[in-house]
């Protein structure tokens, strides 16, 4: 019997989808009936995803910070599925929450280049190489932004600058590509994942989330899967009046004030 899902018959290309948020979005898209190309730099986890999700997906080993990697993932998607309806730029790395005072002179340039190359150039190149295919299907782009796309203290200056750049990219592309292609974003606050780090700043990202839930109006740390429905919404008819929008799914961080009123819940 045919599986009825909100993304039946759609083809999605998702970057950074072997772990964390991207993986959860890929799983949800398959459950909703989509065929998915997963592009990632981890060969080992790509293999595991292929076994996990089977024929509904293909996997492509690609570094999104390179033009070559982006071309490869689009070519593979067209070769296998013949079309692309949804492009999700999601692959990202963190700056370890290192503040400007602690960024040493001998690594600041390399760290900036590495983070910007993945977080910003990766999205731009992905959008560029998938554009002609999305024009054919009048599809959409969705980018993973962040609370750090709007506010301070979600990372250090490099990560925050990279995520602010994504907010600009979403708005510019949404304006340029209307009315044929909708471009939107999802801005999570915190996620229970350990993000990767640039080589120049070491391999281990320190956890910034332990204990932060007490400061959140909705006081829990969401799992990656808690955000997946937002991507389904932005990829489907239900959001057809939305472009240039970034959904802030941040447990209410952005509406936090100084003190609670009396008689609160």
Ligand X SMILES: NC(=O)c1ccc[n+]([C@@H]2O[C@H](COP(=O)([O-])OP(=O)(O)OC[C@H]3O[C@@H](n4cnc5c(N)ncnc54)[C@H](O)[C@@H]3O)[C@@H](O)[C@H]2O)c1
Applying CB under 6 A, among 11, 13, 18, 253 the residue interacting with ligand X is 18
> Do you find a cis peptide bond into 179, omega within 30 degrees of 0?
yes
Contact indicator for 165, 246 with CB cutoff of 8 Å: no
Shortest gap between Cβ of 60 and ligand X (angstroms)? Answer: 9
Stretch that binds ligand X, among 56-64, 128-136, 170-178, 212-220 (CB under 6 A): 56-64
Stretch that binds ligand X, among 86-94, 128-136, 174-182, 240-248 (CB under 6 A): 86-94
Shortest gap between Cβ of 143 and ligand X (angstroms)? Answer: 8
Q: How many contiguous H segments (helices) and E segments (strands) does the chain have?
A: 7, 7
Report the interhelical angle of 122-137 vs 157-177 (nearest 10°): 20
Shortest gap between Cβ of 45 and ligand X (angstroms)? Answer: 6
Applying CB under 6 A, among 191, 201, 228, 230 the residue interacting with ligand X is 191
Shortest gap between Cβ of 124 and ligand X (angstroms)? Answer: 13
Interface map 108-147 toward ligand X (x if CB under 6 A): ----------x-------------------------x-x-
Q: 45 to each of 52, 114, 183, 251, how far by Cα in Å?
A: 10, 22, 28, 29
16/20 Cα distance (integer angstroms) = 9
Applying CB under 6 A, among 7, 19, 139, 243 the residue interacting with ligand X is 19
Contact indicator for 23, 49 with CB cutoff of 8 Å: yes
190/192 Cα distance (integer angstroms) = 7
Q: Which C-beta is closer to ligand X: that of 64 or that of 84?
A: 64
Q: Which C-beta is closer to ligand X: that of 9 or that of 246?
A: 246
Stretch that binds ligand X, among 40-48, 105-113, 173-181, 232-240 (CB under 6 A): 40-48
Residue 41 lies near ligand X (rule: CB under 6 A): yes
Residue 193 lies near ligand X (rule: CB under 6 A): yes
Residue 122's nearest CA partner among 177, 47, 196, 179 is 196
Contacts of 216 (CB under 8 A, 6+ apart): 189, 190, 251, 252, 253, 256
| Token couple for 150 | 């709007």
39/234 Cα distance (integer angstroms) = 20
Which positions lie near ligand X, rule CB under 6 A? 15-16, 18-22, 40-42, 62-65, 90-93, 118, 144, 146, 188, 190-191, 193, 195-196
């Amino acid at each position: 019997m045919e599986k009825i899902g909100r993304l039946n018959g759609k083809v999605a290309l998702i970057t950074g989808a072997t772990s964390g948020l991207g993986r959860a979005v890929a799983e949800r898209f398959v459950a909703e009936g989509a065929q998915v190309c997963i592009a990632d730099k981890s060969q080992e986890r790509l293999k595991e995803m292929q076994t996990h999700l089977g024929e509904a997906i293909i996997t492509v080993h690609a570094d999104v910070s390179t033009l070559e990697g982006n071309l490869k993932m689009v070519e593979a998607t067209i070769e296998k599925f013949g079309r692309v309806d949804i492009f999700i730029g999601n692959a990202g790395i963190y700056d370890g929450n290192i503040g400007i005072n602690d960024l040493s002179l001998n690594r600041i340039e390399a760290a900036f280049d590495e983070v910007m190359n993945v977080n910003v150039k990766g999205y731009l190149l992905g959008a560029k190489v998938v554009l002609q295919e999305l024009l054919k299907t009048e599809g959409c782009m969705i980018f993973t932004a962040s609370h750090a796309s709007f506010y301070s203290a979600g990372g250090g200056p490099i990560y925050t600058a990279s995520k602010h750049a994504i907010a600009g990219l979403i708005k510019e592309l949404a304006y340029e590509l209307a009315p044929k292609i909708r471009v939107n974003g999802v801005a999570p606050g915190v996620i229970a994942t350990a993000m990767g780090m640039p080589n120049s700043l070491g391999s281990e990202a320190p956890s910034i989330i332990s204990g932060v839930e007490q400061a959140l109006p909705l006081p829990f740390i969401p799992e990656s899967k808690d955000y997946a429905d937002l991507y389904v919404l932005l990829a489907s008819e239900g959001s057809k009046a939305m472009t240039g929008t970034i959904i802030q799914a941040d447990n209410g961080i952005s509406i936090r004030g100084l003190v609670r009123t009396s008689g609160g819940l």
